[in-house]
Structure formats: structure tokens, C-alpha cells
Amino acid sequence: MSTGPDLIGSSASELASKLADREVSAREVADAHLDRIAATDGVVAEGDVWASKPADELEAHHVHAFLQVTAAAARAHADDIDARRAAGEELGPLAGVPLALKDLLTMRGVPTTCGSRMLEGWVPPYDATVTELLRDADVVVLGKTNMDEFAMGSSTENSAFGNTRNPWDLDRVPGGSSGGSAAAVAVMQAPLSIGTDTGGSIRQPAALTGLVGAKPTYGTVSRRGLVAFASSLDQAGPFARSVEDAARLQAVIQHHDPRDSTSVSESPPDLLEHLRDGVEGLRIGVVTELQGEGYEPGVAETFQAALSRFEALGAEIVEVSLPHAPYGLPAYYLIAPSECSSNLARFDGVRYGQRVDAPTAEEMNAATRSAGFGPEVKRRIMIGTHALSSGYYDAYYLQASKVRTLIARDFEAAFGSADVLVSPTSPSVAFGLGTKTADPIAMYLNDVATVPASLAGNPALSLPAGLAAAPEAADTALPVGLQIMAPLLRDDLMYRAAWAFEQDLGFTPVPEGRRAVEVAR
């Protein structure tokens, strides 16, 4: 029989096959991961729903990946799966595998906070479509993960409930905004998690925590029940410790949804069928504009080594240009805040969450919003409101949306000479807690390489390319992410390239020394 530590170290694919062979029960798998959460996360492990400790009670060894752990519901779901398996019922490919869900997606009966005080006390009356699909697949949801408030941030330091720590170095950030979902998988609290990516919020934390994280083609995963930040960019996607696991999870959640008017009816070819076909003869385009100045030396060297590895595997490396990519980040920081200012207008103290009383409706709206939103959310609402206001719309939102067209055309042209494109995922390795919070633009620059694919809608993933030292600490060894971008609806190609690279590199996705330490604590 497998023991707890074996189970938490297993990939989703390994667990799925052990479960199918009845070598282990879904309940044992759920319990092993719940024990791991109790030992590492800083939750109060009592009752049906485990709450995370208040920020001022969290200690330096607490990862704080979860905001709530739905322990009783997870155990009951696992028991139900075991019973149905025992009865000979046909179950889905990931049945009984545990997962952590970003707290931006609704789950009926479980508070959704979006990392904000604004929604305190709100219990969603419905499941997000992604949550429904996970339930239909009998994936066991363990709880809701920490994040930058309303998904605005690149470090998870903008959470109203305290920051998440990077399992590779607890004094560093896990990236963001899906930092909780990333940290949970990196520290083996779950083999899988769901994040959301608007400008890089899955790929950048995946890079900083040594994971595989993917943003599917825009429109292929339903946004219903995903609390909107920037509707034309938001997309949910998987985190995992292996390429195959990520592909399997993406396959579960991509589904046309008539209840989301931006959902597309096409889907990519089967993500697993050609996963192991290799990269022999594949043309890999290196994007001129997404390297060089602004990228840390350790990141740049690791990226160059990745190109050599692809070449050794038989791929053809070609240089491609996305001439408008340098305008991606400026365009993003007009489009995303504009859509955010419009989407977050719904938090008015009337329909959900908290209210601060005041004599008139308008004063009540303003008092509620001022008390409920944190500084970064206010900044973005302000930028967006200004950019959409009379006299500025054409120069800001409209011009940025035109630049977006040019970036999409750049991608189309580049895919004429390359099958997939590559770049470093993030210009830096994980940075220290508190080192970028005072400088919004320094924080925004984290997204410089991930934003172009977001604006164009293309699928893109990040996978570990190796380890490098942080520039300020030569004795560190932190994960570096490689970004692979593919044509629209060719998510299968990016997974295929990633799988070949991963097999050759042989990266250990969990930091040395963290595999057992906390279990004993």
C-alpha cells in the first residue's frame, strides 16, 4: 500500500492509474493531501471547512496557499467516488485526483473572496462552469486558493488575506496573481490546481515556482462563474508538476459553453494524442523582441541553454519578429484597467458582499468601494475610468485595441515561419517579498513576455527550463520558466513541444528539502 508521502509526491497521472487499479482509494489520496495542507499551510485544521489563519498569525514556514480548505466536502466526494468505483461505475480519467481551485472561481455554498474584503460574507449560489466540469470529472476539490485581489498583481502580495510564500524560498514571492494555486502544487498539497491568466497570471507563477502552467486559447474555457477582471483577456487554465498532467487537466475544463457569450465552439485537437511525438523537424521561433535587455542574466542563460536543447532534440531554431510586442505591455495596461473599471462597477454595496452605510446611495457606493478595495485595485479602477472617460477613449482604449490587432497580426505572420514560438516566461526569477510593492511599473514589467499572447488570444504555457541564481544572491537556485506559444487552437502543439523538452531536461519539480520536512512538523 502507498503511504502518505508517496501519494503527495505522485503526479496526477500516476494517482489516476493507482486509483483505477484500486491500489489506493480516493479517500486515502484526499486524506494524504489534507494532512500535507494541515502541516504546511497555516490553516486552522478544524471543522468541515478549514479557514486560513489571519495574516498576523501566519508564521514564516506557512506557505498560505489556501484561503479555505473544504475538508469535509472533499472527503465526502472521495468516499462517493470510491463507492461508485466499487459498484463498477465507469469513472472519468482524473476521478479521485485532488485539485486546488483559485478563489476567483465560484463553487456553490463556499465563500468566494477573490482575495478581497469587498466580497466578505458572500456565498455564491452557483458553480462556475469550470467547477461543474471538474465535479463531472470527479476531480476532488480540496479548497480555494490565495491570489492577488481580483487577480490584479504579479506576486500575490495584493491579497487582502496576507501573502503566499514561494516553496522554493519562503522569503520570496510565488508570483501572481494565481500564487496560491502555484504554491499549493509546488509544495505538494495538491497535484493539480486551477488558476486564471489575464496577462500572465498562470504562466508567471508557474515559472517562479517550477511548475507547468498553461493559458489555453482564449474562449476555449468558459468564463461563467469566473469573477471578471478583464473580460476580453481572462482565461482559466491548469497548473501541474508535469506537462502531461497539465494537458489532462486542460482537456477536462475546455468546453464550449452557451452560457458564456465569448465561448468559442471550436476546440483544439486532442491534447494527448500526439503529446509524445517529439520535436524532430518542428520549427521553433525565437522572438527577437522578447529577450535581451531587462531579462536577468540567469534567465537569459537558461533560455539560451533551452534553445540548444531543442536543437539537440532535432528541432529547427528560427528567429522571428513580433514588431509590435514592445507595445504589448503599454496596451495591456490600458485595456485591462479599462475593462476592470467597468467590471468592478458591480461591487456597489447593493447586491453582494459588504456595505458601508451612508445617507445617500451614491455616498454608500463610494464608502463601500473605498473600504472594500485595496490599493492596486483602486489604482487600476482609476486608470481605467480615466482611459474610458470622455475625450480620452480614442487615444487610450481604442488605440490600445488597434495595437492589439497589430500584435495578433504579428503572431499570425510569425507562425508562417515557425510552428511554435518561445521566450523566457518572466524576466526574473522569484523576487523577495516586499521588494516591488512600492513601484507599480516594476511590478507590471513581470508581464512583459506573457502579455503579447494574452492580447492576441493565443495559447501559451510555461514549463521549467532549469535553475538560476537571483542576481542579488549568488548562492540561490531558483526555477526559470520557458514560455511556449502556439497558433490559435493549437494548444496541442505547445504541449507536444513542452513534453519533449521536459523529458529531456528531467527537472525535479519540488524543491530539495521540502519533500518531507513539513510532514514531520
Catalytic machinery residues = 102, 177, 201
- Output 303 or 333, the one with its CB closest to other proteins: 333
* Binding residue for other proteins, selected from 98, 216, 349, 479, defined by CB under 8 A: 349
User: Under DSSP, is residue 2 helix (H, G, I), strand (E, B) or coil?
Assistant: coil
According to the binding rule CB under 8 A, does residue 331 interact with other proteins?
A: yes
* Binding residue for other proteins, selected from 17, 308, 389, 508, defined by CB under 8 A: 389
Task: Name the minimum Å distance from CB 254 to other proteins.
Answer: 14
Instruction: Report 102-121 residues binding other proteins (CB under 8 A).
Output: 121
User: Under DSSP, is residue 404 helix (H, G, I), strand (E, B) or coil?
Assistant: helix
Instruction: Report 202-231 residues binding other proteins (CB under 8 A).
Output: 217-219
DSSP classification of residue 230: S
- Output 17 or 405, the one with its CB closest to other proteins: 405
- Output 42 or 199, the one with its CB closest to other proteins: 199
- Output 124 or 180, the one with its CB closest to other proteins: 124
Task: Name the minimum Å distance from CB 388 to other proteins.
Answer: 9
From residue 41, how far is each of 68, 113, 145, 168, 228 by CA, in Å? 11, 18, 11, 14, 27
According to the binding rule CB under 8 A, does residue 232 interact with other proteins?
A: yes
Task: Name the minimum Å distance from CB 457 to other proteins.
Answer: 3
Cis peptide before 177 (omega within 30 of 0): yes
**What are the grid coordinates assigned to 300, written together?**
537569459
* Binding residue for other proteins, selected from 360, 472, 475, 506, defined by CB under 8 A: 360
Task: Name the minimum Å distance from CB 348 to other proteins.
Answer: 7
* Binding residue for other proteins, selected from 281, 292, 359, 513, defined by CB under 8 A: 359
According to the binding rule CB under 8 A, does residue 417 interact with other proteins?
A: no
Instruction: Report 308-327 residues binding other proteins (CB under 8 A).
Output: 324, 327
- Output 410 or 502, the one with its CB closest to other proteins: 410
Q: Which amino acid is at 272?
A: L
According to the binding rule CB under 8 A, does residue 363 interact with other proteins?
A: yes
Instruction: Report 257-296 residues binding other proteins (CB under 8 A).
Output: 258-259, 261-262, 264, 266
According to the binding rule CB under 8 A, does residue 415 interact with other proteins?
A: no
Binding residues with other proteins: total (CB under 8 A): 75
Per-residue binder mask for other proteins (CB under 8 A), 164-193, x = binder: ------------------------------
Q: Give dist(CA 363, CA 60) in Å, integer.
A: 40
- Output 98 or 384, the one with its CB closest to other proteins: 384
Place of cell 502580495: 157
State residue 166 phi and psi, 5-degree precision: -80, 120
Q: What is the CA radius of gyration of the chain?
A: 21
Task: Name the minimum Å distance from CB 356 to other proteins.
Answer: 9
Instruction: Report 65-94 residues binding other proteins (CB under 8 A).
Output: none
From residue 152, how far is each of 148, 443, 445 by CA, in Å? 5, 11, 13
* Binding residue for other proteins, selected from 198, 341, 343, 425, defined by CB under 8 A: 341
Task: Name the minimum Å distance from CB 447 to other proteins.
Answer: 13
- Output 207 or 340, the one with its CB closest to other proteins: 340
Closest CA to 325 of 285, 381, 296: 285
* Binding residue for other proteins, selected from 84, 283, 379, 514, defined by CB under 8 A: 379
Complete DSSP assignment for 16-42: HHHHHTTSS-HHHHHHHHHHHHHHHS-
Q: Give dist(CA 109, CA 112) in Å, integer.
A: 9
Instruction: Report 471-490 residues binding other proteins (CB under 8 A).
Output: 488
Q: Give dist(CA 275, CA 497) in Å, integer.
A: 8
- Angle (CA) 503 504 505, round 5°: 95
Closest CA to 65 of 176, 179, 141, 161: 179
In this structure, the number of other CB atoms found within 10 A of the CB of residue 60 comes to 7
Task: Name the minimum Å distance from CB 201 to other proteins.
Answer: 18
236 Cβ contact partners less than 8 Å away, ≥ 6 residues apart: 102, 105, 130, 194, 195, 196, 197, 216, 221, 223, 226, 253
Instruction: Report 431-450 residues binding other proteins (CB under 8 A).
Output: 440-441, 444
* Binding residue for other proteins, selected from 406, 473, 477, 505, defined by CB under 8 A: 406
Handedness of CA 236, 242, 247, 252 (dihedral sign): negative
Q: Give dist(CA 161, CA 106) in Å, integer.
A: 18
Q: Give dist(CA 151, CA 128) in Å, integer.
A: 16
Residue span binding other proteins (CB under 8 A) among the ranges 68-76, 97-105, 341-349, 506-514:
341-349
According to the binding rule CB under 8 A, does residue 386 interact with other proteins?
A: yes
Task: Name the minimum Å distance from CB 24 to other proteins.
Answer: 38
- Output 15 or 107, the one with its CB closest to other proteins: 107
According to the binding rule CB under 8 A, does residue 383 interact with other proteins?
A: yes
What's CA 477's distance to the chain center, in Å?
22
Task: Name the minimum Å distance from CB 408 to other proteins.
Answer: 6
Q: Where are the alpha helices (DSSP H) in 46-116?
A: 71-86
Over the range 182-210, which residues count as b (16 or more CB within 10 Å of their CB) and which as e? bbbbbbbbbbbbbbbbbbbbbbbbbbbbb
Q: Name beta bridge partners: 240.
A: 192, 212
